[in-house]
Chains A and B, each alone.
Chain A
Amino acid sequence: MKIKGEFEVLKKNRNLSYLDSGASCLKPKSVVNKLLEYYREYPVNIHRGVYEMSSRASEEYEKSREMVADFIGAKEKEEIVFTSGTTEGLNMVARGMEKRFKKGDEVLVTELEHHSNLVPWQQLAKRKGGKIKYIKIDKNFKLNISDLDKLVSKKTKILALTQVSNVLGTVNEVAKITRIVKKINPEILVVIDGAQAVGHMEVDVQKLGVDFYAFSGHKMYGPVGVGVLYGKKKLLEEMEPMTFGGGMISEVGRESSTWARVPEKFEAGSRAIAEVVAMQEAIKFLKKHGFRQEKERELIKRLSVKLSEIEEVRVFSALEAGILSFTVSGVHSHDVAEVLSRKGVAVRSGHHCAQVLHKIMGVESSVRVSLGVYNEEKDLDIVVDGVKEVLKIFKK
Chain B
Amino acid sequence: MDDLYREIILDRYENPQNRGVIKDGKEAKEVNLMCGDKLKITVKIEKGVVKDAKFEGGGCAISMAGVDLLLDKIKGMKLSEVKKMSGSEIEKMMGVELTAARKRCAYLGLEVLKKLG
Please give the residue numbers on chain A whose beta carbons come within 8 Å of chain B beta carbons, in ascending order.
331-335, 338-339, 342, 349-351, 355, 358, 364-365, 393-395
Contact = CB atoms under 8 A, between A and B. Distances in A.
Interface of B: 1-2, 4-5, 10, 34-37, 58-63, 102, 105
A393 B10 CA distance: 9
B35 A350 contact: yes
Contacts of A339: 1, 5
Residue from B34, B35, B58, B105 having most chain A Cβ neighbours under 10 A? B35
B37 A338 contact: no
B60 A364 contact: no
A350 B60 CA distance: 10
Contacts, number: 53
Contacts of A395: 10
B41 to A, nearest CB: 18
A365 B102 contact: no
Residue from A335, A349, A358, A395 having most chain B Cβ neighbours under 10 A? A335
Given A342-B1, A393-B2, A393-B5, A332 B59 contact: yes
22 contacts: A333-B35, A334-B35, A334-B59, A334-B63, A334-B105, A335-B5, A335-B60, A338-B1, A338-B4, A338-B60, A338-B62, A338-B102, A342-B1, A349-B35, A350-B34, A351-B35, A351-B36, A364-B36, A364-B37, A364-B58, A393-B2, A393-B5
A364 B35 contact: yes
Nearest 10 A/B pairs, CB to CB? A332-B60, A334-B60, A350-B35, A342-B1, A365-B35, A351-B36, A335-B60, A335-B61, A393-B5, A350-B34
Contacts of A342: 1
Nearest to B105: A334
A351 B34 CA distance: 8
B36 A355 contact: yes
A338 B5 CA distance: 10
Contacts of B105: 334
Nearest to B1: A342
A335 B65 CA distance: 12
A332 B61 contact: yes
Contacts of A350: 34-36
Contacts of B1: 338-339, 342, 393
Nearest to A395: B10
Contacts of A355: 36
A334 B34 CA distance: 9
Contact of A365 (B4, B36, B62): B36
A331 B5 CA distance: 12
Contacts of B36: 350-351, 355, 358, 364-365
A254 B93 CA distance: 63
Contacts of A365: 35-37
Contacts of B2: 393
B5 A333 contact: no
Given A334-B60, A335-B61, 17 more contacts: A331-B61, A332-B59, A332-B60, A333-B35, A334-B34, A334-B59, A334-B62, A334-B105, A338-B4, A351-B35, A358-B36, A364-B35, A364-B36, A364-B37, A365-B36, A365-B37, A394-B10
Contacts of A334: 34-35, 59-60, 62-63, 102, 105
Contacts of A394: 5, 10, 61
Contacts of B59: 332, 334
Contacts of B102: 334, 338
A291 to B, nearest CB: 32
A342 B4 CA distance: 11
Contacts of B58: 332, 364
B60 A333 contact: yes
A249 to B, nearest CB: 38
A259 B60 CA distance: 51
Nearest to A349: B35
A335 B62 contact: yes
